[in-house]
């Protein structure tokens, strides 16, 4: 598989070293596996040194070293790497293995992903579009497994693999994808918390979606379904995407494992901690948007779940700000000031339509 058939989208927002580690690991692993691959990093108007770090990495002026200890070695790529830059809609640069798109604003997860997908779609040879979270890293054996799977052929819509936490590395965060509770719209991660070493692969017949932190869309899927919906801003975009796949099946790539730091920029939950109010607001807002679109008959039970979850935050966890975020998100009320203050004015306009 010598031609460049796989494109990778990494959406960065105040991701700094994590985005560098992600790009370096996936390009290095692809080189070791002999898999043709190109990367596009979409910067969602980071306010930190993310862009400077990416430029320093690609130019070779800053010798590569991982920002945190990794459970596998990375053979650094020869530098410099060409790093063409542009805005959304930039023309494809065939000879550059990595490109940087400036989205111009924090457009949310889907907005950033869609800018990257549009760039990759301009390359006719790219048949597989892989979305990776910036705080994830890819070991070399994963790209060897992906190459083997793609060479087998077969039709698929969305494909996933195993996502384990970077710390602890044997704990699964999600195994490919998960299920959606038809009564509440709540998603459940396959094999969450299980041991990587002791857990067999899941069955795609038992999945409703593939997790957005590690999801590959086939060209056939992208051409038929189109990009992600952007009105979620954060959360449920990939679940919505999967629900629109029609007869294109979900797939699982055995051996495609990525390590995920999880929650570095928005405070997503882990097994050890409650999500931040920022994360909770958008998670429950997205859940109810999804319910209204795909599970309209479940609105009553979905709202009942909201009330029960908010009560748990208030009574058991003693987190009144978390409870308020859950209620405001689910019932479509304006975000609390503390949440709006985390977003720039243009990001607020995109997220809230004002």
pLDDT in tens, 201-256: 999 999 999 999 999 999 999 999 999 999 999 999 999 999 999 999 999 999 99
Exposure b/e, 296-320, CB count within 10 A at least 16 = b: eebeebbeebbeebbeebbeeeebe
Q: What confidence tens digit (pLDDT) does each residue in 95-148 have?
A: 999 999 999 999 999 999 999 999 999 999 999 999 999 999 999 999 999 999
Angle at 32 between CA 165 and CA 162, to 5 degrees: 25
Q: CA–CA separation, 15 vs 56, rounded Å?
A: 14
Q: Say how many CA atoms lie within 13 Å of 249 toward its Cβ.
A: 10
DSSP, res 297 = G
Distance in angstroms (rounded) separating the CA atoms of residues 163 and 133:
11
pLDDT confidence band for 1 (50 / 70 / 90): very low
Counted residue by residue, the chain has a size of 354
pLDDT beyond 90 at 268:
no
The candidate with the shortest Cα–Cα distance to 291, out of 249, 339, 263, 329, is 329
What are the Cα distances from residue 240, in Å, to 194, 315, 342? 26, 32, 26
Structure tokens of 40? 């596009």
Tokens of 182: 């038809």
Q: How confident is the model at residue 4 (pLDDT cuts 50, 70, 90)?
A: confident
- Cis amide prior to 224 (ω within 30 degrees): no
Tell me: the pLDDT tens digits for 17-34? 999 999 999 999 999 999
Q: Tokens for 138?
A: 């890819």
Residue 295 tokens, joined: 């599970």
Instruction: State the pLDDT at residue 262.
Output: 73
pLDDT value at position 353? 86
Q: How far apart are the first and last CA of the chain?
A: 47
Residue 45 is classified by DSSP as -
Phi, psi at 57, each rounded to 5°: -65, -50
Closest CA to 44 of 13, 87, 17: 13
Q: Which domains does the chain have, with CATH numbers?
A: 6-260 (3.90.550.60), 277-352 (no CATH)
- Residue 119's contacts (CB-CB under 8 Å, 6 or more residues apart) are 40, 90, 92, 99, 101
Report pLDDT digits (tens) over 140-199.
999 999 999 999 999 999 999 999 999 999 999 999 999 999 999 999 999 999 999 999
């Amino acid at each position: 598989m010598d031609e460049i058939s796989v494109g990778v989208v990494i959406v960065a927002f105040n991701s700094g070293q994590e985005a560098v580690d992600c790009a370096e690991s996936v390009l290095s692993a692809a080189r070791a596996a002999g898999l043709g691959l190109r990367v596009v990093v979409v910067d969602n108007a980071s306010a930190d040194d993310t862009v400077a770090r990416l430029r320093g990495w690609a130019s070779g002026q800053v010798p590569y070293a991982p920002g945190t200890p990794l459970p596998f070695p990375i053979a650094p790529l020869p530098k410099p790497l060409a790093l063409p830059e542009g805005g959304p809609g930039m023309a494809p640069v065939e000879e550059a293995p990595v490109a940087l798109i400036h989205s111009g604003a924090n457009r949310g997860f889907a907005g950033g992903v869609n800018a990257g997908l549009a760039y990759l779609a301009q390359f006719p040879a790219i048949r597989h579009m892989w979305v990776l979270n910036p705080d994830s890293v890819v070991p070399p054996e994963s790209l060897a497994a992906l190459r083997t799977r793609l060479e087998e052929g077969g039709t698929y819509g969305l494909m996933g693999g195993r996502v384990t936490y970077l710390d602890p590395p044997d704990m699964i965060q999600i195994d490919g994808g998960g299920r959606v509770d038809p009564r509440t719209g709540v998603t459940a991660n396959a094999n969450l918390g299980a041991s990587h070493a002791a857990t067999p692969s899941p069955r795609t017949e038992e999945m409703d979606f593939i997790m957005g932190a590690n999801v590959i869309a086939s060209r056939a899927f992208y051409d038929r379904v189109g990009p992600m919906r952007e009105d979620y801003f954060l959360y449920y975009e990939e679940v919505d995407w999967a629900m629109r796949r029609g007869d294109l099946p979900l797939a699982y790539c055995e051996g495609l494992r990525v390590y995920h730091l999880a929650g570095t920029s928005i405070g997503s939950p882990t097994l050890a901690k409650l999500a931040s109010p920022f994360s909770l607001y958008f998670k429950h807002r997205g859940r109810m948007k999804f319910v209204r679109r795909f599970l309209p008959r479940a609105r009553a039970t979905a709202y009942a779940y909201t009330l029960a979850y908010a009560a748990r935050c208030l009574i058991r966890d003693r987190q009144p700000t978390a409870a308020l975020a859950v209620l405001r998100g689910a019932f479509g009320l304006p975000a609390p000031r503390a949440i709006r203050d985390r977003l720039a004015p243009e990001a607020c306009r995109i997220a809230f339509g004002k």
